[in-house]
């Protein structure tokens, strides 16, 4: 959206470079021109495809994970089932179909959705109307009840800041103007940045990049506090390494291909790898127990996805069987989504979430 590009160029020209986090926030969530605010980015006609859109198998495994955790929680008569960024509602639709025969589970759940995209909200309402979903803007809107949180490819879209180690000290990557075009620039060394760099990394080699998503840490801290007070757990599935690699993970995608991150703000998807190590630390600080991160493929196979695929193939024709095998491989194979995507569970003490050793 050229309008957002103009807004950013005028802002930077007037006030100077902005943080990468501010750039991502405006590009993705600007009230009028933000990428996630109106259009549907999913599927073949969109910019990317998520696991729930690949196969019903994914959402079904998530549903079974939720039901198992609910039972371990003592099968409370009322609990919040919250999905962050529920896309088209496909994951939750498949999850709830898979758990329809688990006695008491549906009667107990109070479905909550955190979603800012009005187009996707309409699709979610269509698929999940029978469960009367409650939309929330912030976690402050939650009632004091046990909770199970699902976040699939949600944290990767939250804004990050990038810090770079140089011979002069730590600097920050900023978004400025170069010959009138948006581009990365670098701040002077700032001693105060050390407070945002883990102590073990402060003497890293020159050129090392450290990324931090303050919105991710803040949101997870709220979730962890709620779980610590009222019981439950959270399942986070996203892409990234168990620990940071020291390289930039910022990427932009349009029509299923990588594109320039600064050329068309508001028109392309911007994401960064999730720092699972940092999320684990936030959960632990609130007294939660962390499991993982483990590869998505290992998690799904531990949940029984191979058996469920075999059941579906038993009732399928030849073409459908091939499609099931193709989808299964895409979700679990190490060369596809199986290892790049990770699963992390953060649960109240004494709970043992399914799918994790």
Range(s) of the chain covered by CATH 3.40.50.12710: 51-159+213-347
Judged by DSSP in three states, 160 sits in: coil
- Predicted confidence at residue 143, as pLDDT, reads 94
Tokens of 345: 């569970």
How crowded is residue 56: how many other Cβ atoms within 10 Å of its Cβ?
20
Tokens of 20: 């990468």
How crowded is residue 200: how many other Cβ atoms within 10 Å of its Cβ?
7
Tokens of 263: 């050329």
- Say which DSSP state 200 is in: G
Q: What angle (nearest 5°) sits at the alpha carbon of residue 117, between those of residues 112 and 119?
A: 105
Instruction: Name residues of the chain where pLDDT drops below 70.
Output: 1, 38-48, 256
- Predicted confidence at residue 43, as pLDDT, reads 46
- Predicted confidence at residue 41, as pLDDT, reads 59
Helix orientation angle between 305-314 and 56-72, rounded to the nearest 10 degrees:
130
- For domain 51-159+213-347, give its CATH number from 3.30.9.10, 3.30.420.340, 3.30.930.10, 3.40.50.12710: 3.40.50.12710
Helices within the chain (DSSP H only): 2-15, 20-29, 51-54, 56-72, 90-98, 105-108, 118-128, 214-230, 276-285, 296-302, 305-314, 318-332
Judged by DSSP in three states, 174 sits in: strand
pLDDT tens-digit series, residues 216-239: 999 999 999 999 999 999 999 999
- Predicted confidence at residue 137, as pLDDT, reads 84
Judged by DSSP in three states, 346 sits in: strand
User: How many residues does the structure list for the chain?
Assistant: 357
β 251-254/257-259 pair status: antiparallel
- The pTM assigned to this predicted structure is 0.93
- Predicted confidence at residue 39, as pLDDT, reads 61
Query: Which residues share a beta bridge with 162?
Result: 173, 211
- Predicted confidence at residue 154, as pLDDT, reads 95
pLDDT tens-digit series, residues 226-278: 999 999 999 999 998 878 888 999 999 887 688 888 988 888 889 999 999 99
- Predicted confidence at residue 115, as pLDDT, reads 85
Tokens of 227: 């779980």
């Amino acid at each position: 959206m050229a309008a957002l590009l103009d807004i950013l160029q005028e802002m930077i020209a007037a006030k100077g470079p902005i943080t990468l986090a501010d750039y991502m926030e405006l590009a993705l969530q600007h009230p009028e021109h933000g990428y996630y605010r109106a259009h549907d980015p999913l599927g073949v006609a969109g910019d990317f495809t998520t696991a729930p859109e690949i196969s019903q198998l994914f959402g079904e495994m998530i549903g079974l994970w939720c039901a198992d955790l609910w039972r371990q929680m003592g099968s409370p008569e009322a609990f919040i089932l919250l999905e962050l960024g529920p896309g088209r509602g496909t994951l939750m639709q498949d999850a709830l179909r898979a758990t329809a025969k688990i006695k008491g589970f549906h009667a107990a759940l109070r479905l909550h959705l955190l979603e800012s995209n009005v187009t996707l909200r309409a699709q979610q309402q269509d698929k999940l109307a029978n469960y009367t979903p409650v939309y929330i803007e912030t976690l402050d809107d939650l009632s004091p009840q046990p909770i199970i949180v699902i976040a699939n490819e949600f944290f990767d879209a939250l804004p990050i800041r990038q810090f770079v180690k140089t011979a002069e000290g730590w600097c920050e990557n900023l978004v400025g103007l170069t010959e009138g075009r948006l581009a990365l620039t670098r701040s002077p060394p700032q001693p105060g940045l050390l407070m945002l760099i883990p102590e073990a990394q402060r003497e890293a080699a020159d050129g090392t990049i450290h990324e931090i998503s303050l919105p991710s840490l803040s949101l997870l801290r709220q979730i962890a506090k709620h779980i610590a007070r009222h019981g439950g757990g959270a399942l986070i599935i996203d892409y990234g390494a168990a620990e940071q690699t020291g390289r930039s993970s910022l990427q932009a995608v349009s029509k299923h291909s990588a594109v320039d991150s600064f050329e068309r703000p508001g028109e392309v998807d911007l994401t960064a790898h999730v720092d699972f190590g940092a999320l684990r630390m936030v959960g632990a600080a609130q007294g939660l127990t962390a499991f993982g991160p483990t590869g998505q493929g290992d998690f799904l196979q531990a949940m029984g996805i191979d058996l469920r695929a075999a059941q579906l193939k038993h009732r399928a024709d030849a073409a459908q069987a091939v499609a099931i095998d193709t989808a299964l491989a895409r979700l679990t194979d190490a060369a596809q989504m199986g290892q790049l995507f990770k699963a992390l569970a953060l649960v109240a003490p004494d709970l043992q979430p399914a799918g994790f050793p």
